[in-house]
Every structure is written in structure tokens, then in C-alpha cells.
Amino acid sequence: MGQVFSRVLLKLSGKVCGDNGIDVKRIGHLAKLLIRVLENKSTSLAIVLGGGNIIRGRNFPSEDKYDRVPIDQMGMLGTLINGLALQRELEANGVEVRVMSSLRVDEVAEFYKVRVARSHLDKGRVVILACGLGIPFCSTDYATVERAIEVRAEIVLKGTNIDGVYDGDPSRDSNAKFLSFVSYERYLQDQYNVMDFAAIKLAKDQGMPIRIFDFFKEGNLEKVLAGEEVGSLIYFSQESVLR
Ligand code: UDP
């Protein structure tokens, strides 16, 4: 299947690495899926992994007396652990990978610099962007859109375990309607919750399209890279996102 984008940023929740910590089998499966699409080298691939399988700051048990900052720092380091696990698996299969971290951990990963990240991508390396933006009170969704703009990705592809955006909660409401397209305005107005609002606002300001799709459905990653309308597109209008 031909690939239509020259550069994408793939956002995957920490779930792809495990339910609770790292699941080696799941990382192996993830790497296999990625290697399959990397064989057709026309799209350069940056990846942001979440860290929810290790720590999610907003869900971490805490009372008011606790400072949120170290909790979010643990969350960021969780994304680094996921990134290193994926790097290990990809490298073992001959893929050139760089993990770039927004926090300085020089012995472990390169410190993120936008020009260096672009250069790695230009050379066909997979770049795994870890530690979000390196600041607390921030989600990896927001970091995804920010980094996608910086590395000049054409689109954010958010792979999740649901098939896209619904106008209700399909697990509770059988009348919830699947939306193959949602404008940024409608997403914010109707308060959908597949991606956080700060991320959607930034995407709107900078015109970054976002496609939400079921990452676990066989063939879906190939399809979104081929420009097929799988899942839901969040953008200004339904017109082509190819520039
Ligand atoms: N985080 C942060 N700053 C960032 C990115 C992430 O503080 O720039 C922390 C935050 O605590 C977050 C955790 O890292 O909850 C893991 O990321 P996220 O919840 O987005 O992971 P996902 O839900 O995608 O698995």
C-alpha cells in the first residue's frame, strides 16, 4: 500500500506498551506493526508514546498536601521507559532509532533539539520523543501536537483502542454516533474527550490535522499512512489534509 505523507507523528498511548508496566510481548507486537510499515520507507516517522501504563499524573493517588510536580516528573520518566523499550525492540530488528528526551538524561537518550530531530528524520531514522515537553501539568497529547508542528509533520496520527470520535460514550450509550469528521470548533464545543482540549486548541491555531484511529485493528496503520479515511479526522473541514 503506497504511503502519501512524507512525515507523520504517531501518538500511541502507554497502553500499547502494557496495562501495568512494560509487557514485553506487547512491545514486540508494536514493533512488528511498525517494522511492517517502515519497510515502505516513504514516510518518515516520529513517535510519541504516552506513559499511562506506568504513571498518569492526573490519576495518581494524592491529597492536596502533595506536590504534583514530582508526580508528573515520574509520569514523564514513564514515557522514557516506554521509549527505551520500543527502541530496544526496533533496534534488535535492524531499525535505526533515536530516543530524544525533553528532560536531560544524557547517558540514556539524546536531549531533544528540534533541528537534530528533523535531521534524524530526514535521514530516515525513527525518532521516539520521550518525556513530553519536559514540564509538569502537561499531557503527552499536548506534547504530540507541539512536537508535530516543530518537526514539520503533516499530520498527527493518534492510535488508540477505540475506532474514532463519537458524539457520546459508545460503551454506555448505544445511540452514540460515530463521526468520521469533526471540526476543531465542534470538538471543543461538544467537549469530546479522545484528545485533550489544550492539544486540540494548539492544533487549531497551527492548522495541524489529527486522525484518531483504532491502532489494534489489523491493517489500520497501513491504511492511515496510505491516506485512507479510517477513523475520525479532526481538522477545519473535510477537505484533503495533503498539502
Ligand atoms: N507528563 C507531564 N508533562 C508532559 C508529558 C507528560 O507531566 O509534557 C506526565 C503526566 O503526569 C502524564 C504522564 O506524564 O499523566 C503520562 O502521560 P499521559 O498521561 O499523556 O500518557 P497516556 O495517557 O498517553 O498513556
The preferred substitution site among 66, 102, 133, 139 for testing ligand 1, maximizing ligand atoms within 8 Å of CB, is 139
Atom of ligand 1 nearest to the CA of 140: 20
CA of 137 from ligand 1 middle (Å) equals 8
- Pocket of ligand 1 contains residue 129 by CB under 6 Å: no
Atom of ligand 1 nearest to the CA of 133: 8
CA of 133 from ligand 1 middle (Å) equals 9
CA of 77 from ligand 1 middle (Å) equals 9
Exposure on the CB side of residue 105, measured as CA atoms within 13 A: 17
List C-alpha distances in Å: 138 to 58, 78, 135, 141, 196. 10, 14, 6, 8, 10
- Sign of torsion, CA 171 164 156 159? positive
In the chain, domain spans:
1-59+67-145+198-205+220-228
pLDDT at 243: 55
pLDDT at 240: 63
- Pocket of ligand 1 contains residue 18 by CB under 6 Å: no
CA of 83 from ligand 1 middle (Å) equals 13
Q: Whose CA is nearest to atom 14 of ligand 1?
A: 75
Region label for 152, one of left (φ > 0), alpha (ψ between -120 and 50) or beta (otherwise)? left
pLDDT at 242: 60
Q: Which CATH number fits domain 1-59+67-145+198-205+220-228: 3.30.420.40, 3.40.50.10150, 3.40.1160.10, 3.30.310.50?
A: 3.40.1160.10
Q: Where are the extended beta strands (E) located within 24-124?
A: 44-49, 97-101, 110-111
Question: Which pTM value belongs to this model?
Answer: 0.94
Atom of ligand 1 nearest to the CA of 76: 14
Tens digits of pLDDT across the chain (243 residues): 677 899 999 999 999 999 999 999 999 999 999 999 998 778 999 999 999 999 887 777 777 777 889 999 999 999 999 999 999 999 999 999 999 999 999 999 999 999 999 999 999 999 999 999 999 999 999 999 999 999 999 999 999 989 999 999 888 999 999 999 999 999 999 999 999 999 999 999 999 999 999 998 999 999 999 999 999 999 998 776 665
- Pocket of ligand 1 contains residue 143 by CB under 6 Å: yes
CA of 126 from ligand 1 middle (Å) equals 21
- Pocket of ligand 1 contains residue 83 by CB under 6 Å: no
Could you say which DSSP state residue 18 is in?
Answer: -
CA of 14 from ligand 1 middle (Å) equals 9
CB-based contact 156:194 (threshold 8 Å): no
- Sign of torsion, CA 49 53 57 59? positive
- Pocket of ligand 1 contains residue 104 by CB under 6 Å: no
pLDDT at 6: 94
